A = this chain, B = another copy of it.
C-alpha cells in the first residue's frame, strides 16, 4: 500500500550514504575500491624503521590489539551479515609494513609530539592493495606513522571472526589542515582521577587530536603538585587523594606524548586563583568575599594581587617551576575574567596603586611582562585567553597564542592585532553549554551559554569567517572545551564523545572537505568504535537511524 516510489527513494538514500569505512577524521586524499580483503590470521605489522623507538613499537602493539578486539560490525540493517558473502570469499592481507621516508630522522613519537607546533609533521601515506600482498604505511616521522596506524585501525569491520574491508584497494595521502587540534579539560571545578585522563587521551588520539589543554587549577581547587610550591596542593586540593603528583604528571605527559599529544598546562592568572589564598592569604584579593557575584563570575571570588612585587615574583617562580614539569613549548597563563571591582575594593591593591601612581592596567602590564618573561626564560611560548589582547593593554610578545572563547565574533579583532588564534569559542565549542544553571537558590537559572552546542554546530564552523587571506594564516586550529561545574568522572565520556570528534575532523580535514550530512553516519561509527574500546560515547540518534544512514535526515 505504500507508494512504490517512496520505498525506492528510501533505498537510494541508504546506498548513497552507507559508509564502508569509519576513518575519522577523513583523510585529505582518500581513494577506495570495491574489493573485499580480510586480515590473514597471521597478519602482522612489520616495523621497517632502524632503531625503532619504544613508543612506536607500543603503538604498533596497540594497533594490532584494536584490529582484532574492536569487533565493530557495519552499521547497516543486518549488520556484518550484509557482507557475509564478500567476506568469506575475500583475499587475505598478510601484513602492513611501516617505514620512514628516505632521509627522515628517527625520533620517538613522544619527541615529535612536543615539538614546536608548526614543525610537527603528521603526514603519512597508506596503501592497501586489492590482493593479499602487503600494505604500506610511510611517513616523514614516527608521529606521521602513528597517525597512519590510527587510520589503519579504522579501515576494518568485524564479522564472525573476520576483520575485513570491502573497499580495497585503498590509497590514502593525509596531513592535517591545521596544526592545532585540541581538547581542554578543567580538573579544578571537579577532580578527575588519572585513569580518566588516560582514557580521554586514548580517545583523543583515535581522532588525531594533538593537544591536551589542561586547565588543571582554578579558584575551586589546586590539584597540581609543583616542586617548591607543594603547599598550594597540600592546602588547595580537594583532598590528599585529589592531587596530580609530579609522578602523575610525568606519567600523563609521557602517556600523552606516546599518543602524539602535547600536554599544554594552564595556570590561570591573575584571576581564577582564589584557592591560592589557602596557602598564601596575603597574595589574594577578595578571597571568598561575598556576595561572590560582586567579585567574580562564579564562586569563590579571589584574584592574585598582581600589584604586589611579592606576588609577581611568586607567580614568575611558579611558572618557572611548572615549566619544568611539562616538556611542551607552550604554557597557558590564562588572563580571563579579571574582576576590577575585586581590586577596587581591595585595600592592599589600592594602597600600592596610590603609592606607585600606577593604574591597575599599568600594573597588569608590569605583572604580565614579568611572568611571561619567566616563561620565555624557560623556553615557553605563552597562550592567553582573548581578554588579554581585547580588554587589556598589556604588552605581549608577537608569538603569543590567543584562545578566543567569549564569542567567535571576536576572532577578527584578535587577528587584526596580528596574534595567532586557537578557536575555542563558547558559541561553538563549549561542551558544558545547555546543562542548566548550577548556582544555588535560582530555580529559573539556565546555562549562560545556552543552547547545547551540537556536533553539527561545531562541525559546520567556518575557521576563517570574516578573515582576510593574510589573517587566515594566523588560525592555528581549534578545540572543544569542557568546564566541569557539572561534570566529573561519571559524565566525562558522554559529554565529550563523540562531540569533540567534530572539531577534530574540522581542523584536520579542513572545512573544504567536510560535509555534515555524510559525516553523520561516519560519526555514528566513531561512537560505536569508541564504545567497543571502552569510552562511553553517546548515541547520536535512535539505533534505527544509525543503521539506516540518511533515513533520519530532516530532508529524508
Contact of A486 among B434, B440, B538 (CB under 8 A): B538
When each residue 175-215 of chain A gets 1 if its CB lies under 8 Å from chain B and 0 otherwise, what string results? Answer: 00000000000001111000000000000000000000000
**A300 in the interface, Cβ–Cβ < 8 Å?**
yes
Q: A436 and B434 in contact (CB under 8 A), knowing A2-B289, A457-B443, A459-B443?
A: yes
A72 CB–B CB distance under 8 Å: no
Question: A439–B517 Cα gap in the complex (Å)?
Answer: 10
> How far in angstroms is the closest Cβ of chain B from A160?
15
Interchain CB contact under 8 A, B2 and A286: yes
Given A490-B494, A490-B536, A490-B538, A190 and B543 contact (CB-CB distance below 8 Å): yes
Contacts of A292 in B (CB 8 A): 551-552, 556
**Docked pose: A348 CA to B190 CA in angstroms:** 59
Which of A285, A456, A484 has the most CB atoms of chain B within a 10 A radius of its CB?
A: A456
Question: Is the C-beta of A545 less than 8 angstroms from some C-beta in chain B?
Answer: yes
- Residue pair A436, B451 in contact (C-beta under 8 Å): yes
Q: What separation, in Å, do the CA atoms of A347 and B220 have in the docked complex? A: 65
| A436 surroundings in chain B (CB, below 8 A) | 434, 451-457
Interface residues of A in 285-307 (CB under 8 A from B): 285-293, 298-300
Cα of A453 to Cα of B454 in the assembled complex, Å: 17
User: Of B441, B451, B485, B539, which contacts A488 at CB under 8 A?
Assistant: B539
Partner of A539, one of B190, B288, B453, B543: B190
Report B-chain residues with C-beta under 8 Å of the C-beta of A298.
552
Assess whether B190 is in contact with A542, with CB atoms less than 8 Å apart: yes
Given known A299-B551, A459-B443, A493-B490, contact A543–B7 (CB-CB < 8 A): no
Per-residue CB contact flags for chain A residues 5-20 toward chain B (1 = under 8 Å, else 0) read 0110110000000000
Tell me whether A542 and B485 are in contact (CB under 8 A). Answer: yes
**Interface status of A231 (Cβ within 8 A of chain B):** no
Bound-complex Cα distance A484 to B541 (A): 8
Q: Is the CB of B9 within 8 A of A544?
A: no
Query: Whole-angstrom distance between the alpha carbons of A485 and B555 in the complex?
Result: 18
How far apart sit A298 and B551, CA to CA, in the bound complex (Å)?
A: 11
Collect the chain B residues with CB atoms within 8 Å of residue A540's CB. Answer: 438, 486
Residues facing B in A434-467 (CB within 8 A) are 434-447, 450-457, 459-460
Residues of B within 8 A of A531 (CB): 490
Interface centre among A299, A434, A441, A552 (most CB of B within 10 A): A441
Number of A positions contacting B (CB below 8 A): 89
Please report the C-alpha to C-alpha distance between residue A550 and residue B291 in the assembled complex, in whole angstroms. 11
Also in contact, A516 and B451, with CB within 8 A (given A494-B494, A542-B190): no
**Are A541 and B454 in contact, CB atoms less than 8 angstroms apart?**
no
Q: A346 on the interface (CB 8 Å rule)?
A: yes
Write the nearest CB–CB distance from A311 to chain B, whole angstroms: 13
Pair A556/B291 contact, Cβ less than 8 Å:
yes
Within 8 A of B (CB), among A405-452: 434-447, 450-452
Question: Among the interface residues A188, A219, A238, A281, which one has the most CB atoms of the partner chain B within 10 A?
Answer: A238
A141 at the binding interface (Cβ < 8 Å): no
- Complex CA gap A192/B44 in Å reads 37
Q: Is the CB of B441 within 8 A of A553?
A: yes
Assuming the A-B contacts A239-B79, A439-B552, are A486 and B452 also in contact, with contact meaning beta carbons closer than 8 angstroms in the complex? no
Task: Decide: A438 and B2 in contact? CB cutoff 8 A.
Answer: no
Contacts of A113 in B (CB 8 A): none
Among candidates B288, B435, B451, B490, residue contacting A446 with C-beta atoms closer than 8 Å:
B451
| Pair B490/A537 contact, Cβ less than 8 Å | yes
In the complex, A436→B494 CA distance in Å? 14
For residue A346, give the distance in angstroms from its CB to the closest CB of chain B: 7
Contact between chains at A440 and B552 (CB < 8 Å): yes
For residue A221, CB closer than 8 A to chain B, the reply is yes
A1 in the interface, Cβ–Cβ < 8 Å? yes
Would you call A69 an interface residue if the criterion is a C-beta within 8 Å of the partner chain's C-beta atoms?
no
Judge if A341 is at the interface, Cβ distance under 8 Å: no
Neighbour of A536 across the interface among B434, B446, B491, B537, CB < 8 A: B491
Cα distance A555–B299 when bound, in Å?
A: 11
- A258 → chain B, closest Cβ, in Å? 27
Select from chain B the residue with minimum beta-carbon distance to A345. B3
CB pair A299–B552 under 8 Å, yes or no, is yes
- CB of B6 within 8 A of CB of A517, answer no
Residues of B within 8 A of A484 (CB): 539, 542
Contacts A7-B288, A452-B434, A452-B447 hold; do A543 and B2 have CB atoms under 8 A apart? no
Closest residue of chain B to A460 (Cβ to Cβ) is B443
**Distance A293 CA – B292 CA, assembled complex (angstroms):** 48
A554 touches B (CB below 8 Å): yes
A346-B1 in contact (CB<8A): yes
- Of B291, B293, B441, B456, which is within 8 A of A442 by CB? B456
* 3 smallest beta-carbon distances between A and B, as pairs: A436-B454, A491-B494, A490-B536
Offer 14 A-B interface pairs, CB within 8 angstroms, sorted by A: A189-B544, A288-B551, A291-B555, A298-B552, A299-B544, A299-B545, A299-B551, A436-B455, A439-B554, A440-B520, A440-B541, A444-B457, A446-B451, A446-B454
Sample of 10 further A-B pairs with CB below 8 A, known A300-B551, A440-B517, A486-B541: A2-B286, A2-B288, A6-B290, A436-B452, A440-B550, A443-B456, A488-B539, A490-B539, A491-B536, A491-B539
